[in-house]
A and B are shown apart, each in its own frame.
Chain A
Amino acid sequence: MNGVTKRIRNWLEVRVGLDELLRSNLTDYRVPSNINLFHTLGAVAVVGYLIQVITGICLLIYYIPHADHAFRSVQEIMTRVPYGWLFRQMHVVGSNLLIAAVFVHMVTIFLMGNYKRPRELTWISGGLLMVITLCFGFSGYLLPWTQLSYWATTVATSIPTAFPVVGDFVSRLLRGGSSVTGITLTRFFAVHVSLLPPLFVFLMVVHIALIRRIGLSATPFGRSDEEKRPLTEFRKKLHPDGYPYYPYLLQKQALMGILYFVVMFLVISFAPTFFFPEEATVPADAFKTPESIRPEWYFLAPYQMLKIIPNKFLGISLQIILLAVFIFWPFLDTHKEKNIFKRPVLRGVFIVVMIAMVILMWWGRR
């Protein structure tokens, strides 16, 4: 180590106790020895979120949140602004990848039973993070002010009206009037860039702090001491016979983070119009309903579900209940068995839900 870095290190050491800080967080922090690649998905989500923040700020420099200028400014980002196309593509492709990563993260946590006590709060904060990520996608979708975004938002913001008493109010609140206009655009813009990011960061900090405080779950399959002991006092889950976080898990996380970039650039290079169908290159026109309107892929399943339930109020209530079940799942499933392979009923329910989602998505696609 050369002199300068040594001096900087020493300077920090005497002030903040750098060595101890690094040791306790990197090498003394131990993770279960049979940890698998799925445990890196949370870190991938953090990387994905950072990409959204950085590219989002770059877009913000040139984007104009006004109905008369939004479309043109986004086209200018794509054609005139140096590397604007790259930032926009990364932001758009990234938003979809991020949602996919977060979703897989959640499913694997579910399958490994890691939401069980004492980690209920971790699950809830994660569930809220998922909801906020979806809100990011929903609010961001309107911003380029294309035919696609305009009409998808028109349909989506009409959904709350199915709810009696407050539905109308909610819909008007979202739109800032009786239909989607420039007011809606500025509203969604405000939510997208100034309300959701701090909320997201706050929940992310809570989520990660909880994970560090409670300790990573032990072996995913098979019973560990955690479930056996009665929950009468806090006990951090240490893994004395596990591996140090640095370098073993960090390496894996970095590898998966890089893979995330590779997939992202793969889509940008070889399928640049994957997330831009024809309607996405036509400016919004309130008087011309396009041939086909459909929401983003991650909203297709709920969208189709609403469409096929004849009573809209029933449909929307069902979705709210499903969302509540999802968020509060650890309190509903208090069975001590973590291994899903020993729980045929839960396994069956899981498979049915997944298949139903795929079918609904496929169905809603057309």
Chain B
Amino acid sequence: MRRYVMLLGLLLVFPLTASGDYREEFEQGFLTKTWSGQQPEENFCIECHSSDKMKPEFLTLAEEWKASWHAQNGIACHDCHGGDPKDSSMSMSPHRGFVGKPSPAEVPEFCGKCHIGILKNYLESGNGKALRSTGKGPHCEVCHGSHNVQRANIDIINEQRCTKCHSYERAKVMKQALFLVEKKAGEIEDGIKALRRAGVYPEEQERSLFNTQAEFRTLFHTVDVNLVNERTDEFTRKLGAIEKDIQGTFIELRSQKNFSAFLMALFSIMGGVLFLIIRTPDK
């Protein structure tokens, strides 16, 4: 018997000496790849613009972009500038939709391709009208940058930036008007993170927060303090509803814990009683 089993083992060992023509996918996909991070796609814009062929003053742009919120959301060079990232020689050809670099006055429309609601409010605002009429108003880039665009928050409004063209007075009032709602939104964001850590998928809460926040921030771009103040109540109420929802989920989690602990106690008592009545057989 034993001999047959060993023979079988030998038979299994035999193919070891052969060289396997196993799949590349495995070698590359399983071995060399660490399975972490997004797989970089080939993109000639980035490749060429970060090579030594590039003018030194342009060289940092690609790096800046890589760190941006746009990059993390899959918005690349060609999404803003047009062109074809897959074709190195024709990439910056107008035939491939390349629009080049926007002039300051063009920037709002340039960004507004995607941020439509904000563009509308911006154009109607004092800042927007000033840009239109005198070219003196701030465009999107002044406040958000062009390549290193990060998630927005009210700290964008600061003395350094807002006193370039006028006094800080109005900017300060604006910031105060935003503060209440933004603070509450920040708290809710922390609550959502905590929910995630507790193993809950906070899809609905996340979506309502995102929508409410986007709506409020779109409103901000009117830079109309009265309008913001007028609608602060409405936004606080909306955020309050989300907050309540999150709290409700935590209460639910706690009651689940209690119920499960109760079951545990029940079984512990059952075990304890059984342990006491267990008879050891007498010889």
The distance in angstroms between the C-alpha atoms of A258 and B276, with both chains bound, is 14
A10 to B278, CA, bound (A): 29
| Set of chain A residues within 8 Å of B20, measured between Cβ atoms | 162-164, 311-313
Once the chains bind, are B259 and A86 in contact (CB under 8 Å)? yes
Residue of B nearest to A252 (CB): B278
Pair count A-B, CB < 8 A: 149
Pick the contact of A262: B13, B198, B199, B267 (CB < 8 A): B267
Whether a CB of chain A sits under 8 angstroms from the CB of B231 is no
Given known A-B contacts A164-B21, A289-B38, A258 and B26 have beta carbons under 8 A apart: no
* Most chain A CB inside 10 Å of its own CB: which residue of B23, B203, B259, B268: B23
Q: Which residues of B contact A258 (CB under 8 A)?
A: 267, 270-271, 274
CB B174 to nearest CB in A, in angstroms, measures: 36
| A87: min CB distance to chain B, Å | 12
A95 to B6, CA, bound (A): 35
Instruction: Indicate whether B55 reaches chain A with its CB closer than 8 angstroms.
Output: no
The interface residues of chain B, by DSSP majority, are classed as helix
CB distance from B5 to the nearest CB of A (A): 5
Which of these binds chain A: B29-37, B59-67, B92-100, B109-117?
A: B29-37
Bound Cα distance A78, B199 (Å) = 10
CB of A89 within 8 A of CB of B278, answer no
Let me know if B165 is at the binding interface, CB within 8 A.
Answer: no
Q: Is A259 an interface residue (CB 8 A)?
A: yes
Nearest opposing residue in chain B for A71, CB measure: B201
Do A317 and B16 touch across chains, with their CB atoms under 8 A apart? yes
Q: How far is the CA of A155 from the CA of B200 in the complex (A)?
A: 25
A164/B18 in contact, CB under 8 A: yes
Task: Flag if B270 contacts A158 (CB, 8 Å).
Answer: no
Instruction: List B contacts of A287 (CB < 8 A).
Output: 38
A73 to B246: give the CA distance in the assembly, Å. 20
| Number of residues on chain A facing chain B (CB within 8 A) | 64
Residues in B neighbouring A159, C-beta threshold 8 A: 26, 30
A321 within 8 A of B: yes
- Chain A residues with Cβ below 8 Å from B271 are 255, 258-259, 262
Chain B residues with CB under 8 Å of chain A are 1-2, 5-6, 8-9, 12-13, 15-16, 18-23, 25-27, 29-31, 35-39, 196-201, 203, 249, 252-253, 256-257, 259-261, 263-264, 267-268, 270-271, 274-275, 278-281
10 A-B pairs with least C-beta separation = A313-B20, A265-B264, A161-B23, A258-B271, A164-B20, A269-B261, A269-B260, A276-B199, A273-B199, A261-B267
In addition to A86-B259, A317-B16, 14 A-B residue pairs with Cβ atoms within 8 Å of each other are A71-B201, A163-B20, A248-B281, A255-B274, A259-B271, A262-B264, A270-B261, A273-B197, A293-B35, A312-B27, A313-B16, A321-B13, A332-B5, A332-B6
